[in-house]
Structure 1
Amino acid sequence: MGIEPGFHDQLNDVVRIDRIEEIDSHLGVAMMGFFRRLGISHLYPERIVPTMEGGGSRVYLAARDRPWPPWGLGARAIGALCQVHPVGRNSYAISPVYTADEDATNIGMIAAVYKEALENLSEAQGAEVNYLVVQDSRFADRLLRGVGFSPSDDLQVTDQARYRFYRTEAGKLAKALSLDRISVPELLAHQIEDSVLDRLSGYFAGLYLATGQGRFTDRVVHEIVWIDGGLFDSDRPGLAPPDAFPPGSPDELRSAPPDAFPPGSPDELRSAPPDAFPPGSPDELRLAPPGDIPGRAGIAPPGNVPDWGFAPPGGPPDELGFAPPGGPPDDLARPDDGSPSE
């Protein structure tokens, strides 16, 4: 393309894009150092580790290894990092691309990390990516709509604001950003057309501004919040993600329609009709008739064994009722007057 080497290209020559599903001790040290230098060290123990341990979450990062030795603590330096977390059936939250200060304008590297995440998600047909956008936003709304996101009617409420889901298919987002036709080596070398570079720069700079790069604050309401898993990892059905169960699916969390089970069907969720069980049938939920077997739900007739009432005269001493007169010598009754005492 006749493009001269750029400012970041020499450093990008040693960049490797990795997909991480488990964090070992050495990688954990590199991640902690990365977030500490960004001033957001809380993200590693409070977000990255819990969501990775919960399963399903993946991290995509741009890493550089030191020339020698290329192992041990401190051998790996992270330039950019993005996390993807499942929030529903074929639906994923994708974080902003956290970027080291020295790589803040390294658009090719940032785009390469984002491309890897989108391509991996696109392997599943129709996989969606989601962001939460503050209600009535103009900046974030235009930023996301410009690359194909659409708002939904689903709301999430925090202590400070209301947020609305914006989502699009991962493959469509990659196409809107032209990442489907540029390879990772071309991105790292910044062999990108000017119009595409302008689009990528505007998109990632907008995400950076709207999300605040995860910086902890209780005063600023960020326009975009990425879903970190804590939103939907509860068992409470009220926190089911949007479109988690398409209409008519067997897992849909709705009440059955009135005609779902016709009258008299075995699955009908109603009280049984009066003639559902004929008298004397084993499933009848009524009191047993007099003289029936003791295992019925009614009261057993006198003299049946084992009876929960008083035992008949002459019954066995271990009967659950009162023992008959003349029981064994360890009877608790007082001896008759005049009988020899021990």
Structure 2
Amino acid sequence: MTMNRLEEFELDCVSEVDPSFEVPARAFLRRIGRSRLFDELIRPALDEGSALVAVAQRTRPWPPWGIGARTISAMEIAVPRAEGTAGLTSVLAVPEEGTEIGLLAAVHATLLDGLAERGVERVHLTVREGAAFGEWLAARAGFERSDSLVLTEHSRYWLHDAPIDEHRRAIGIEGADVDDLVTGGALKDDAYASTAMYLLGVTQALGPSWDEQFVSGEIIANTGPGMVAACLPPGGPPALEQ
């Protein structure tokens, strides 16, 4: 049976854990070797009520219900940092879809749409200080370094943020329809190159952190408290020597 890409995939945003999402999400993460992300990131963030997950999934032809009826092919997670802002991650995908730029872009656009509908105006990447590729990639995607610092045990990271619309424009998906992204019709020439560079670049830079290969990746997921401002001491965070 032959299907076109629009018939094959359903794109949606998930904001809570239920069996219809948990079962295919666990199967998807297990297949790509990142099972730990469900219990260590996705479930806690969704249970807290702050996260959003965009998915591209298939539904089997018949019966289209019951356990195993849905299969996730790609996913991206966003975790709000404070009111009106959210941290982005990479688009995770099964191997056969890993370079399908149209599908990856459609998942990313679906997530941005979902965030905007929830009042999020700005998005960010968390980039290691001095990381040449990470800083270059963030700048190409419309992000500018903010004054928000994240300290791990090993490295200093800065949030690089941008208005959602500016980020869309910078990576070549401004005004693009999700359906056209899935089919590949919305991405041509420079737009394709910009979108591919961003999506594959973030995947490469964030991958070692997802896989726990080393602790100071160029880009990491900002998985701290959803509302950082509410956790700050009087007067803000402690001053650090530059």
Match of 2:216 in 1: 221
> 2:126–2:220: 8 Å Cα contact kept in structure 1?
yes
CA distance 1:220–1:126, shift in 2 (3 Å): closer
Question: Residue 229 of structure 1: CA displacement?
Answer: 3.8
Q: 3-state DSSP class of the match of 1:164? A: strand
Q: CA–CA distance in 2 between the matches of 1:150 and 1:52?
A: 28
Q: How far apart, CA to CA, are the structure 2 residues paired with 1:213 and 1:194?
A: 30
Return the alpha-carbon distance in structure 1 between the equivalents of residues 27 and 208 of structure 2. 16
Distance 1:110 1:173 in 2: 16
Question: Matched residue of 1:181: which SS?
Answer: coil
Name the structure 1 match of 2:58.
64
Taking only the aligned residue pairs, the percentage that are identical comes to 28
Instruction: String of CA shifts for 1:204-223, please: whole Å, max 9, x gaps.
Output: 11001110175332635210
For residues 123 and 160 of structure 1, do their structure 2 counterparts lie closer, same or farther at Cα, with a shift above 3 Å needed?
same
How many residues matched?
233
Residue identity matched to 2:72: I
Give matches, 1:17-36, under 5 Å: 17-36=11-30
Check if 1:198 corresponds to 2:193: yes
Per the TM alignment, residue 126 of structure 1 is displaced from its structure 2 partner at its CA by: 7.2
1:176 is displaced (CA, Å) by 1.7
Aligned mates of 2:165, 2:72 — CA distance in 1: 26
Flag the structure with more relative contact order, 1 or 2, with Cα contacts below 8 A and sequence separation at least 6: 2
Paired residues of 1:32 and 1:44 also in contact (CA < 8 A): yes
Deviations 1:71-117 (A, max 9, x none): 11111111111122221121111221111111101111110111122
**Take 1:236 and 1:176, find their aligned partners in 2: how far apart are those partners?**
32
Q: Which runs of 5+ in 2 are unaligned?
A: 237-242
Of the two, which has the highest radius of gyration?
A: 1
Q: Partner residue of 1:208? A: 203
Q: Is the 8 A contact 1:86 1:229 kept in 2?
A: no
Q: If the length of structure 1 is used for normalisation, what is the TM-score?
A: 0.63
Deviation per residue, 1:243-283 (Å, 9 max, x gap)? xxxxxxxxxx549xxxxxxxxxxxxxxxxxxxxxxxxxxxx
Alignment of 1:151-166 (within 5 A): 151-166=145-160
Query: Which of 12, 31, 34 does residue 40 from structure 1 map onto?
Result: 34
Looking at structure 1, the residues matched to 152 and 220 of structure 2 have their Cα atoms a distance apart, in angstroms, of 11
- The partner residue of 2:161 within 155, 162, 167 is 167
